[in-house]
Amino acid sequence: MGARIAVLPGSFDPITVGHVDIAKRALKLFDRLLVVVADNQFKTYLFTWEERVRLCRETFKGEKRITVLRGEGLTAEFAKEHKASVLVRGLRSSLDFEFEKKMADVNKFVAPGVDTVFLLADPRYSFVSSSSVKAMWENGVDIAGLVPPAVLEALKAKANKKPSA
């Protein structure tokens, strides 16, 4: 039997401690984890695709069983192409479940051999999302405990590059 490979997809704009927690917990269940940084043409991002990939790589640089990749197209197809049998998704609330269940059904239709595993968010991080982190940051809230150090530095760099009003 080969290595058990799982995919953790997301836009990671930016990656948060909640994402990191899900990834580390997934490593307890799988031999390798592919963190796939996706891009959605209908979303507006703070960080470019390249920046998001770089921040994820910096975040996981010490973990040899995690590979960060840029993902295009359908996640289920990506998983099949990379010999992964599982998609890992984190759930913060029942609202997440409703959305993720529909996505899992679509993925199962696209790639019948790929299952989805849901991991419940650690209660300490159940309120943490990329959107909430960005909103807090933009309003001057200290988010140091909510994002990896590389993200905090990248946010500070972006703030320093903004033209003053």
Catalytic residues: 19, 43, 92, 130
Among 144, 125, 164, 163, smallest CA distance to 155 is for: 144
Residues 6+ apart with CB under 8 A from 34: 5, 6, 7, 8, 66, 67, 68, 69, 82, 84
β-pairing, 66-71 with 5-10? Answer: unpaired
* DSSP-derived pairing of the beta strands 115-120 and 66-71: unpaired
In contact, 15 and 151? CB cutoff 8 Å: yes
DSSP states of 43-61: S--SS-HHHHHHHHHHHTT
